[in-house]
Amino acid sequence: MHRLIEKGLMFGNLVRVDSPVLVERYNRALMHLCGKQTALDVFHIDISGYSPEVGDELGDDLYLNHQGVNRQFILLTTDQVTAPLLNAKFSTSRSILRQFIMENQAQLFALTTRDAVAGELVNSVYLSDTPARLFDIRKVRVEADTTSGTVADAEKLGQMINRFKTEDDAWHNDVLIAQMIGMAKKTGDVMRNPVRLKRMEFSQDNFWTDHFGGIYVFRSVPHPAAIVGGDRLDDLPIPYTFTLDDRSAIAKFLKLNDLTESVIKARGIDASAILRQKMDFIVMSVAADMGADLTRATRRDLRRLGQQYARDLPQEWQGLAALVRWAEDDGPWPKITSEHPAYFYTLRAKPHADADLVNRLLAELSPLDIRQLFICHKELFYRSYAHWPDEKKDYVVDFLAREYQVDKAGARAELFGHEAAMEEPEARPRADLITRVGPWGAVGRRR
C-alpha cells in the first residue's frame, strides 16, 4: 500500500493533528464517546475523526464505529469536511457527515475554536447480527454536542431566558437569575451568538453496506431488490434478492428501474475512447499476470502487449473490441447479452439520486476497469489491490497519479456524465504517513 500512500491515492487529504491542544480535545472526546484515549502526539483523522494510527494503537479499527452500525464522530475542525471516510460500512455515511458539517459550518467553526464536537449517526439498529436486521434501518439522525455539553447548555439557557422574559415575577427570582449567569459563563451570549446545531435526519432507503459480504439495498425504486456480494441470503424483507452471479436478473432490475444507460449510446462523450481505455486496462491485467514489464507503459505499449497476448485476452476485451469496431469502422452490431462478461462494462448510471450507488454496483460487476473501481468502490479497490502482482500495482498507481489525478473532474464528467459525488476530494500525497501506515492501517510507532 506504500505506493498508494506516496501518491495520495490512499489516506490522502486526511487532517493532521499535531498540537497539544487538539490532541487533548481529541482525547477528551474519545473518552466521552468510548472511554478510550490515545498516547500519540501526532496522528491524522478522516471526516469522522477516525485515525488509522489511533486504530492501530488501540487494536480496534472500529473504535468510532461499534458493531459497524452507528458511526460516531469527532470534529476538531470544519476542515474535516474535505477529508475521506475510512472503513466505511455504509455508502451514505460520508455524505451525511459532509452535509451536516456544511449545513452547520458557522456554528461548528465557533464551537471547535473552544472544544471538540462529538456525535453519532443514530438509527434504531444497534447490532448487525443478521442481514435482515440491517433492513430495519430506515432513517439516520445526527446527534452532536461539545464534550462539555455547550449546545445542550445553550438550549437550557435559551429556555431560561424565555422564562425570564415571560414570567411576571422573574425579575425577583434570584435562583433563576443565578442559574442564567452561571450557564452564560459556559455558553457565552446565546442571544447575540446563538449556539444551535440543526436537527438533521436522513432517509436510508437505498444504500450499500459492507456487512455480510456487501449488500446493495434498493427500496425506493418501482421494483425493489437487494443484491448481495457474498453467498446468497434468504429471508430478506424485500421482494427480490440476487447475488452478483445473477447477471441477467441484475440487468433486468437495472432496466426495469431505469437506472442505467449504455455508454456507446450516451450523448456528448467519446464512447470509443472510453471503451478503448477499458480495453487497455484488461490488456494490462493480462500482461501483469504474465509478468510483463509495465513500467510507464503507454497506450502504444499496451497495444503491442495486446497483440503479444492476443490468445489470452478474455471475453470482456473481445466484447468491448466488437463494440469499438461497430462505432468506428461500421462493423456489425455485436449482440452482447447480460450473460456476456463485457455487458456491465458497457453501462453507466443515469443521472439520478442513486447514481453513485449504481456506479458502485457496476464497478463491482466490472472489476477489470481499475479506474471506475477506484473512483466508485474504494473499499473493493483496496482489497483487490492487495492481491495484485507488483507489475499491476505499479501500472495502476502510475496511471491514476499521472492521468487521473491531474483532471479528476474532467474524467468524472466524461465517464459518468454528471458530478460523481462518490469521488473523494482532491487528495494530497502524505509522505509523513508512510512511516505510520501499513497495508491496512497504521503499524507505526507506539508510545
**Does 397 fall in a domain?**
yes
**Does 274 fall in a domain?**
yes
pLDDT tens-place string over residues 50-98: 999 999 999 999 999 988 888 999 999 999 999 999 999 999 999 999 9
Residue 137 shares a structural domain with residue 227: no
Q: What is the pLDDT of residue 309?
A: 94
Instruction: Among 85, 119, 142, give the residue marking a domain's end.
Output: 142
Residue 240 shares a structural domain with residue 358: yes
Residue 224 shares a structural domain with residue 135: no
What are the cell numbers at 203? 432517509
pTM score over 0.75? yes
Tell me the one-letter amino acid at 249. Answer: A
Q: What is the pLDDT of residue 159?
A: 62
Instruction: Among 124, 142, 160, give the residue marking a domain's end.
Output: 142
Classify residue 64 by burial, with Cβ atoms within 10 Å: 0-12, 13-18, 19+. Answer: buried
**Does 182 fall in a domain?**
no
Q: What is the pLDDT of residue 170?
A: 65
Regions of the chain short of the pLDDT cut 50: 190-193, 419-431, 433-447
**Does 212 fall in a domain?**
yes
Residue 102 shares a structural domain with residue 216: no
Residue 250 shares a structural domain with residue 377: yes
**Does 170 fall in a domain?**
no
Residue 213 shares a structural domain with residue 123: no
**Does 163 fall in a domain?**
no
Is the separation of the CB atoms in 146 and 116 below 8 Å? yes
Residue 105 shares a structural domain with residue 232: no
**Does 334 fall in a domain?**
yes
Instruction: Report which of 270, 263, 419 is spatially closest to residue 347, judged by C-alpha positions.
Output: 263
What is the rounded CA–CA span in Å between residue 46 and residue 275?
34
Find where cell 465557533 sits. 110
Is the separation of the CB atoms in 255 and 222 below 8 Å? no
Q: What is the pLDDT of residue 151?
A: 66
Q: What is the pLDDT of residue 154?
A: 59
pLDDT tens-place string over residues 167-192: 777 676 676 667 656 666 665 554 44
Residue 289 shares a structural domain with residue 422: yes
Is the separation of the CB atoms in 214 and 364 below 8 Å? yes
Residue 215 shares a structural domain with residue 137: no
The secondary structure element, H or E, covering residue 300 is helix 299-308
Tell me how far CA of residue 332 lies from CA of 165, 261, 276, 336, 393, in angstroms. Answer: 81, 21, 18, 12, 36
What is the rounded CA–CA span in Å between residue 345 and residue 366?
6
What is the rounded CA–CA span in Å between residue 47 and residue 432?
19
What is the residue range of 274's domain?
207-432
What are the cell numbers at 403? 492521468
Residue 114 shares a structural domain with residue 239: no
Residue 231 shares a structural domain with residue 127: no
**Does 194 fall in a domain?**
no
Instruction: Among 142, 159, 192, give the residue marking a domain's end.
Output: 142
Residue 91 shares a structural domain with residue 215: no
Helix axes 150-166, 174-187, angle to 10 degrees: 150
Domain total of the chain: 2
